[in-house]
Amino acid sequence: MSLADNLKRSFWVVWIYKIKFLIKAYHYSLAFLGALVYGFPSRRMRVIGVTGTKGKTTTCNLIAQIFNFSGYKTGMASTVNFRIGEEEWSNDAKQTMLGRFALQKLLKRMANEGCKYAVVETSSEGILQYRHRFINYRAAIFTNLSPEHIERHGGFESYRAAKIKLFEAVAKKEDGVGVFNLDDENVEFFLKTKIERKYGYSLKNDDGRLNLTRKFFIDNVKIDKKGSSFNFNAEKFETSLVGEFNVYNVAAAIVVAVTQGIDLQKIREGLKQAKAPAGRMEVVIQKPFWVVVDYAYEPKSLESALQTVGVFKPKRVITLVGSAGGGRDRWRRPVMGEVADELADVVLVTTDDPYDEDPEKIVDEVLVGVLKNKKRVLGENVFRVVDRKEAIYEALKMAKEGDLVFIPGKGGELWMNVADGKKIPWSDVEIVREVLKSRKTTSF
């Protein structure tokens, strides 16, 4: 390479570095200004941050409900909903973690209304944009980790590193608390943070970790269509939530409550009344066939969800499968199709949030995975239905008594993101109800 080429390369490297620095400075400044404008409200509460790939929203809701039931007024911000005490309303911002000013404004409202705790679903994107800065995190919960937002972060390791920053923030507090899913293969990276008190939970055997303040073990797990039961350190617990993945979510919430000194009996009573957020394994109807709506927007969660619906003992599982546009994790599109092919009897390939991408192209990339093993015949047990509402209609139309229609991908989201930055009001649950209502008056 010539001297001129080296100089050009150095020039662009310097400018890229400067641009990245300016972007970080911009986000950091906004985070500080947001906290300053609203008077650093989180300092008046104990903030619990929940991060991971799956289960964050459900875990946040369980923690908030248990704490409120136990007499500790608690605020919460999650992908699906917000809470202040017993008041609850939907998150229509289409953001897992609100922007700096909006989040600080909400935290101020929580503090002003007497919340002792605030539970904040903390995303990797939020951390990249410093939305977590100037928030008084005193506890951090790690649910699990699997590939997600890889293009955005520039690799899985960078994605994981962003999540770890939440724990590094908590480690700066003398009384900081970390809660860890010991069964996740990435947990060691999170355990390396120097948090004062570390608590772990596991559904598997003790692996001999000695660097924990306390470990909790879950066994005797029983799951059916009515819910789940299990022993938590030999104490029996019950919940209306279905699935092993929800047992993990519940375990995380129990451990957090224990770290804050809440009595186990109180936790048990609160858990019996706790409900999953909208669109998380939500059973819309049970007869003449089951209809279940779930978020399950990435391969691991789709696999877990499709395995879980087996507890309903359906004659056939009819599932939608799709993937988001906007350049979001294109790698997972055929993988989503492969999962649906393996675990469902009938597959309808559709889309969820196409953004500015061609929905036809997204569907075709998912369809590649469905047809990869050449077990299916297009038009017989796999269908290409680009329009999501039409796909729901067709799935319900073909459902017979004893079948189960599974609708993953959007869960409790209230919007569909389409081209030119537009958002269309949306609800999978309401569309199901609308179609079923028409089914009563017509024969399709």
57-86 pLDDT, tens digit per residue, is 999 999 999 999 999 999 999 999 999 999
Burial class of 126 by CB neighbour count within 10 A (0 to 12, 13 to 18, 19+)? buried
Q: E strand or H helix at 204, and its extent?
A: none
Residue 436 neighbours by CB distance under 10 Å: 13
Selection from 202, 263, 257, 222 nearest residue 59 by Cα: 257
The token duo for 111 is: 């503090």
The pLDDT value recorded for residue 96 is 84
The pLDDT value recorded for residue 440 is 64
The token duo for 259 is: 């770290």
User: What is the per-residue DSSP string for 73-96?
Assistant: -EEEE-SSEEEETTEEEE--SS-S
CB 109 within 8 A of CB 118: no
Kindly tell me if the per-residue pLDDT of 274 is higher than 80: yes
Per CATH, 39-273 and 282-441 having the same topology is answered no
The pLDDT value recorded for residue 261 is 96
Kindly tell me if the per-residue pLDDT of 398 is higher than 70: yes
The token duo for 313 is: 């003992």
The C-alpha atoms of residue 247 and residue 191 are separated, in whole angstroms, by: 21
164 Cβ contact list (under 8 Å, min separation 6): 189, 190, 193
Residue 235 neighbours by CB distance under 10 Å: 13
The residue with tokens 């007869």 is 287
The C-alpha atoms of residue 297 and residue 286 are separated, in whole angstroms, by: 23
User: Which position has the higher pLDDT, 369 or 93?
Assistant: 369
Name the residue ranges covered by the structural domains of the chain.
Answer: 39-273, 282-441
What is the pLDDT of the chain when averaged over all its residues? 91
State the pLDDT confidence band at 13, using cuts at 50, 70 and 90.
Answer: very low
Angle, to 10 degrees, between the axis of helix 428-441 and the axis of helix 388-398?
50
DSSP 44: G
Kindly tell me if the per-residue pLDDT of 147 is higher than 90: no
**In which region does residue 94 sit, left (phi positive, over 0), alpha (psi from -120 to 50) or beta (all else)?**
left
**CATH class given for the domain over 282-441:** alpha beta
Q: E strand or H helix at 346, and its extent?
A: strand 346-349
Radius of gyration of the chain (CA): 23
Residue 174 neighbours by CB distance under 10 Å: 6
The pLDDT value recorded for residue 21 is 55
Per-residue CA distances from 56 to 51, 127, 184, 232, 255 (Å): 6, 15, 15, 20, 15
The pLDDT value recorded for residue 214 is 93
The C-alpha atoms of residue 151 and residue 37 are separated, in whole angstroms, by: 33
Kindly tell me if the per-residue pLDDT of 19 is higher than 90: no
State the pLDDT confidence band at 14, using cuts at 50, 70 and 90.
Answer: low
State the pLDDT confidence band at 320, using cuts at 50, 70 and 90.
Answer: very high
The C-alpha atoms of residue 99 and residue 103 are separated, in whole angstroms, by: 6
For domain 39-273, which CATH number applies: 3.40.1190.10, 3.40.50.300, 3.50.50.60, 2.160.10.10? Answer: 3.40.1190.10
Question: Which of 150-159, 252-261, 328-337, 358-367 is predicted least confidently?
Answer: 150-159
User: Which position has the higher pLDDT, 328 or 180?
Assistant: 180
The pLDDT value recorded for residue 5 is 56
State the pLDDT confidence band at 205, using cuts at 50, 70 and 90.
Answer: low
CB 64 within 8 A of CB 73: no
- Region 206-223 average pLDDT: 84
Kindly tell me if the per-residue pLDDT of 442 is higher than 50: no
Question: Which of 22-26, 57-61, 162-166, 294-298 is predicted least confidently?
Answer: 22-26
| Beta strands across the sheet bearing 290-293 | 282-285, 290-293, 404-407, 317-321, 346-349, 382-384
The C-alpha atoms of residue 434 and residue 426 are separated, in whole angstroms, by: 12
